[in-house]
Every structure is written in C-alpha cells, then in structure tokens.
Structure 1
Amino acid sequence: MRTRNKPWAAERLSDFPQFAVPNPDRLKGKWTEEFANSNPIHIEVGTGKGRFITEMARANPEINYIGIELSESIIVTALDRLIEVDLPNVKLLNINAEDLTSVFEKGEVNRVYLNFSDPWPKNRHEKRRLTFKTFLDLYKSVLPANGEIHFKTDNQGLFEYSLQSFSSYGMLLTYVSLDLHKSEFEGNIMTEYEERFSKKGQRIYRCEVRYQ
C-alpha cells in the first residue's frame, strides 16, 4: 500500500524534539543521558505507525524504547500516538536503518525488534531485506554479545528466508512459532498490520534469535 505523502511531516517532527529526536548521531554513546536513566534500550527497526513501540513501552516502563522509521509521512503518525500517551521511555528516530552504527555504540542497544518488514520478494532486491546479512552485521555492531533479534511477519517466504539467513550467519534460534496467534506465547503486542492480517485469518510467524 502506497503511503500518502505528508509535506508537513518534517515540520511537525521538528516541533516535538522530546519525542522525535533531531540529529541522533550526537547522542551516540549518550542515550542514558537522553533517557535520564540506565535502563536497557530496545529498538524497533521499521516502527511504522508506532502501535507496537508505544504499547511495549506502556507495558514495560523499566525498558527504554526507540522506534526507527525512514519515512517522515509514516513516523509522524507514531509521533501523534506518542504525544497522546506521553510516555517518557519512548523516542523516535527518522533515520535509515543503515545508519544504526552512527547513532549507537557497541552494546548500547539490548534488543532489536523487526516487525512486518517489507519482504522485498524479488531476488534482485534481496539486499534490502532487513534480515539480509549486511543488516545482521549492523545489528551485531550495536548489540552486546549474545544480543537478540525478535522477528514477526505474515509473509511465509520472508520468514523462511530469514530463518536461513540467521542460520547461515551462525545465530542461535531460541524460539519459533509458525502460527503465533494459535500458540501459547504470552504477552504478544500486535502491530497495526498484525491485527489486520490476523482478522483475515492469516498466519503470523515469529522467532527469536541470538548472536553467538
């Protein structure tokens, strides 16, 4: 689905720097100062409209969350959601995932979430998939030793590809569900896409993997 362009989005983001952090590279190695605590930091790469990240922050006030989204026209909706709930443990970054190492030091992030990422189904677009090996390198560069990625998708092809990608990289698979909403997994927080797909009866795939 094509996102409607919102030419005013950049200005709105700049109006709320306490939520949508400007020039985040200046905070590399200093995120404990930005949050004013030393709680663990979890990031969601491709945060979309922000439902997952805000609900996770509401449920886990002892964890700091950062939502990362490239599109201004999408992340501005996450900003509006965050303004409404006014949670102190959430920040938003309007950056490309390829810039993670410019924003975070090694070990500064404790967990990475990938939710309903673009599957980029054509072979020539493989390098754009957020579970491609170059992205796995990036996540490893900001996570501690044995850092984790939690991944959810409705796309079976992307899930199968990602499992192979994780395995080829030498990561340890610690949890797999081929039908999340019919599993015994507790504490699942849905994204907007997840709710829409599950109402149509589509399977939701989920896994947790750890670097070794």
Structure 2
Amino acid sequence: MRLRNKPWAKELIDAHPELIQVQPEHVADQFAQKQPVRLEIGTGKGQFIFKMAQLHPEINFLALEMQHSALAVLLKAQVDAQLPNLQLVVANAENLQALFAGWHFSEIYLNFSDPWPKTRHEKRRLTYSSFLTQYQQLLVPDGVVQLKTDNRHFFEYSLISMNQFGMQFQQLSLDLHHDDTTWAAANVPTEYEDKFSAKGQPIYGVRAVFHQAKG
C-alpha cells in the first residue's frame, strides 16, 4: 500500500546519512558492533524492526523499504532513539544479491508483503522462486526466512513455493496470535498485524530454512 507523500521525508533522509542509505555499500560500517545481521524486506513504518532492535541489542537489524515516506517514519523514531544496531536502506528489493553483495544474514523477515494476487504478477511475489534463490544465497547456513501475513491465498502460495524449493518448515501457524508456542509468545507485531488482528482476522506465519546438502 502506497502512503501519502510526506513533504518532510526527503529532507529528513538527506540530513541523516549515518542512519539511512540509498545504497548499502557502507551500511556495515555504521553499526556499532560486528554481530549477526537480520534483514526485513518491506519494512513499512518500521514498528516491527524498531522493537526487535530494542529487544535484541546483540543482533544488528537492517530495514529495507522502497517508499521514502514510509521509511521516514521509522527514521524519525531512530533519530530520537539512536539504536546502535539499526540501519535503514531506501531501495527496491528486485535484485537483492546485487544490493547486498557480500552480506550474510541470519534471518530474513517478510512481514505482510504485497500478495500480488493476479497471476500475471506472480514473479513479483516475495516468495516466488527467484526471490527464494536470492534468500538462499544471502542467508548463513541454517538461516531462517520468517513470513507473516493476513492473506491466506498468499500464505498457501508461499508454502507451496517454499516446499517445491526444498525448504523445511521449522514452525507454522494458521493463527499465530492464538497459538501456544514459543514463537507466538515472543512475537513482535507489525502495524498491519495489529490492525488485522484487532478485526479478528487470523495471522498466518511460517519459519523455514533451506535444505542443506550433506557433504
């Protein structure tokens, strides 16, 4: 969902190159410590990743979002908080391997991604095989792809796509907010998640890893 343009967004982004980048070449240098890094693709306003960075100072978090107005909301919070383990990148996720050449993430988050429901747009879905290929290259061995969505069709599509790719499901939920699991207990919601859950809609989720070949 495209947000209404915020006139102050560009000025704020331009004023804080130490916190937000349009290309991630030098992002790693901005983190206070060298430690495991997790990536959220499609951060939106950043409620999820901001809270995760607060809860886990032992992990670095990278927020990727293509909408300047959305990411500027997170940047505004980060300017105040100055979390040393959170960096932001304004960019499109089409070619992640080029964007993050040399990076190795411990987890990749796909939170309430655009479901692109029309068949002709299938290749744009973030769980299409071409994206899964990129995640596999960017994740450390046993690295996790975590997906949450309110869209059952997109969730079912994602499970099929992941299964056909040979991924293994570590955890799976058809109603995350009412599950009695460690994932549910530790779950950090997104803005959309709060909105949909308040309406009584179930939140679907899966945590999956890529099959590791045995040598």
TM-score normalised per structure 1: 0.92
SS at match of 2:142: coil
Partner deviation per Cα, 1:99-149 (whole Å, 9 max, x = no partner) = 322232456211100000011111111111111111111111211222210
One-letter code aligned to 2:18: Q
Alignment of 1:54-203 (within 5 A): 54-105=50-101, 108-184=104-180, 185-203=184-202
Corresponding residue pairs, total? 208
AA in 1 matched with 2:64: I
Contact 1:20 1:93 in 2 (8 A): yes
Deviation string 1:151-192 (CA, Å, 9 cap, x unpaired) is 000000000000001001110111001000100221110100
2-side partners of 1:193 and 1:41: how far apart? 24
Gaps of 5+ in 2: none
TM-score normalised to structure 2 length: 0.91
2:18 is matched with 18
Alpha-carbon spacing, 1:63–1:46, altered in 2? closer, same or farther (3 Å): same
Q: Secondary structure at the match of 1:145?
A: strand
How far, CA to CA, are the matches of 1:104 and 1:5 in structure 2? 27
Is the counterpart of residue 210 in structure 1 residue 209 in structure 2? yes
Deviation at 1:2, TM superposition (A): 4.2
Give the Cα–Cα distance (whole angstroms) in 1 for the partners of residues 149 and 86 of structure 2: 23
1:80, distance to aligned residue in structure 2 (A)? 1.1
Change (3 A) 1:107 1:83: closer
Q: Distance in 2 between matches of 1:211 and 1:160?
A: 18
Kindly indicate whether the alpha-carbon contact (under 8 Å) linking 1:41 and 1:64 is maintained by their aligned counterparts in 2. Answer: yes
- The amino acid of 1:65's aligned partner reads F
Measured in 2, the distance between the counterparts of 1:127 and 1:63 equals 31
Unpaired runs of at least 5, structure 1: none
Aligned CA RMSD, in angstroms, stands at 1.6
Q: What amino acid sits opposite 2:200 in the alignment? A: G
